[in-house]
């Protein structure tokens, strides 16, 4: 395995992700931020943070598959949520966990969540940027 997720001693342990990803690999894959669009470019889950988070992660899985990787290879994600607050953070986790269940994996990579005023197109509430490491 090229990515080992760690909860280090001496650092606050949170439930939604690990604090560290220890990687051992020679190939790094950088994904463009993924939003909740289908293959036709249509918005999925208008006004629904959970649905948009789920679709963004499913798009990440599809993008990784295109280069021979899986979500198990993810080392770090950055999450952008429009008008981030506690309720939207909870909804995001619901959507991420639905994607994890669909994919049959845990999505606990180190992450940074950033509240933004808007994303690239009207209606988008969530964007997830990811980096993966492969052997």
Q: What is the pLDDT of residue 18?
A: 66
Domain ranges of the chain: 28-134
| Residue 9 structure tokens | 């001693």
pTM attached to this predicted model: 0.88
Mapping DSSP to helix (H, G, I), strand (E, B) and coil, where does residue 77 land? strand
pLDDT (mean) for 16-25: 75
Average pLDDT value for the chain: 92
28-134 fold: 60s Ribosomal Protein L30; Chain: A; (3.30.1330)
pLDDT tens across 50-92, in order?
Answer: 999 999 999 999 999 999 999 999 999 999 999 999 999 999 9
Q: Could you tell me the pLDDT band of residue 5, with boundaries at 50, 70 and 90?
A: confident
Q: Find out whether 17 and 109 touch, Cβ atoms under 8 Å.
A: yes
Mapping DSSP to helix (H, G, I), strand (E, B) and coil, where does residue 80 land? strand
Task: Calculate helix-pair angle for 49-65, 86-103, nearest 10 degrees.
Answer: 40
Beta-sheet pairing, 111-116 with 74-82: parallel
């Amino acid at each position: 395995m090229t990515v080992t997720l760690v909860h280090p001693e001496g650092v606050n342990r949170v439930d939604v992700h690990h604090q560290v990803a220890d990687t051992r690999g020679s190939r790094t894959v950088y994904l463009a931020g993924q939003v909740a669009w289908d293959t036709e470019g249509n918005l999925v889950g208008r006004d629904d943070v959970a649905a948009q988070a789920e679709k963004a992660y499913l798009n990440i899985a599809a993008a990784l598959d295109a280069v021979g990787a899986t979500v198990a290879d993810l080392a770090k994600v950055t999450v952008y949520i429009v008008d981030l607050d506690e309720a939207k953070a909870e909804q995001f986790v619901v959507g991420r966990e639905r994607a994890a269940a669909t994919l049959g994996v845990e999505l606990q990579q180190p992450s940074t969540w950033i509240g933004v005023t808007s994303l690239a197109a009207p209606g988008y509430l969530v964007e997830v940027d990811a980096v993966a490491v492969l052997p």
